[in-house]
Amino acid sequence: MSRILITGSSDGFGLVAAQQLISQGHTVYLHARSSQRASDAEKACPGAAGTLIADLSSLSETKKFASEANALGPFDVVIHNAGVFLGPTRRTADTNMPTQVFVNVCAPYILTCLMEKPKRLIYISSMLHKQGDPGNVGDMFWEKRGEDDWNDFKSYCDTKLQLNLLANAVAKKWKGRTSVATVHPGWVATKLGGKEAPDRLEDGVETYVKLAVGDYDQGLVAPYFEPRGHLGEQVAAAGDEGLQGEVVRLLEGKTGLKIPA
């Protein structure tokens, strides 16, 4: 049985995946951004081992989350599921970058740097990474583009491409020690996906569970999975080592943290 931590698991994919993994006998820790959401998650998932509370749009709270997670001991699996879809720019107070960029890319980077290495590390991406613009990597924090140019949908696509670039860089760096994968769970009618989404939540959760329990070829370097655990293909730009290095360099410069060797 595995020890598993899932960020953003107070509802949606993360919560349902936690419920299924607990039913299989795994030890699962939840995450919520507030005490009220934590309480709601624990009622919906009474078998959870515990819930970490942190606002992953905050630099200080994200670092605190990493410290508290490490205090619980090493995890076999960490699933970076928390994310922000649409919304206004809403720059964070402590980093002055768009909240969407911080939650979707910067927070997973910080946790990757600070948490003990798990056996399996899973980043929840999206098929929309294929619509991300590689040309925007250099301005991933929107420091050159002003708020007048902000487009939340285009930024979301960019952040998911940047997340894939980060995951692929980590996969190569930790090859042979940690299996690192990205996942497109499907376009599902969750709070994030909206009511018109055509895919089934169950198919996306199947991928979460399959990867969490290690039911795949863990010798693969930087695999990308789709609903029902099928191997998919990332956009070609996600394999560009120059872009991968640029994303890591920019995140390192912004946070002062380095991915451990």
Beta bridge partners of 212: none
123 is catalytic: no
Q: Which residues contact 7 (CB under 8 A, 6 or more apart)?
A: 14, 31, 56, 78, 79, 80, 81, 82, 107, 111
Q: Exposed, middle or buried: residue 93 (CB in 10 Å: 0-12, 13-18, 19+)?
A: exposed
Cβ–Cβ under 8 Å, residues 184 and 127: yes
Determine the Cα–Cα distance for residues 23 and 224; give it in Å rounded to an integer.
Answer: 26
156 is catalytic: yes
Catalytically annotated residue among 63, 130, 160, 254:
160
Residue 247 in tokens: 């994303």
Using alpha carbons, select from 185, 231, 217 the residue that is nearest to residue 16. 185
Determine the Cα–Cα distance for residues 150 and 84; give it in Å rounded to an integer.
Answer: 15
Longest Cα separation, the chain: 50
Catalytically annotated residue among 29, 109, 156, 208:
156
Point out the residues that are catalytic: 156, 160
